Amino acid sequence: MSTEVLTSTERKMARAVEAMERDFQGIRTGRASTSLVERIHVEYYGTQTPLNQLAGISVPEP
């Protein structure tokens, strides 16, 4: 394998791990969090739009 492919793959894997760590930081045991869906994008009139711009996202009180 070429070093270019290995370097590119390592960089992509590092970014994936960083993204997963950010996602895990938003998880709290026993409590729902709106941060889990903040980065979800949906197609809206042919454009990818963040879900939180289209709808109010809230967590009901227990």
In a domain, 43, yes or no: yes
Parent domain of 15:
3-54
In a domain, 46, yes or no: yes
Give 28's Cβ-side CA count (13 Å radius).
Answer: 7
Please tell me the distance from the alpha carbon of residue 58 to that of residue 50, in angstroms, as a whole number. Answer: 15
Query: Does position 1 have pLDDT exceeding 70, yes or no?
Result: no
**Which residue pairs, CB below 8 angstroms and at least 24 apart, start in 17-26?**
none
User: How many domains in the chain?
Assistant: 1
Tokens, residue 33: 């969090």
Place of tokens 């289209």: 54
In terms of pTM, does the model score above 0.85? Answer: no
The pLDDT value recorded for residue 14 is 96
Query: Does position 31 have pLDDT exceeding 80, yes or no?
Result: no
50, containing H or E segment: strand 47-50
The pLDDT value recorded for residue 27 is 75
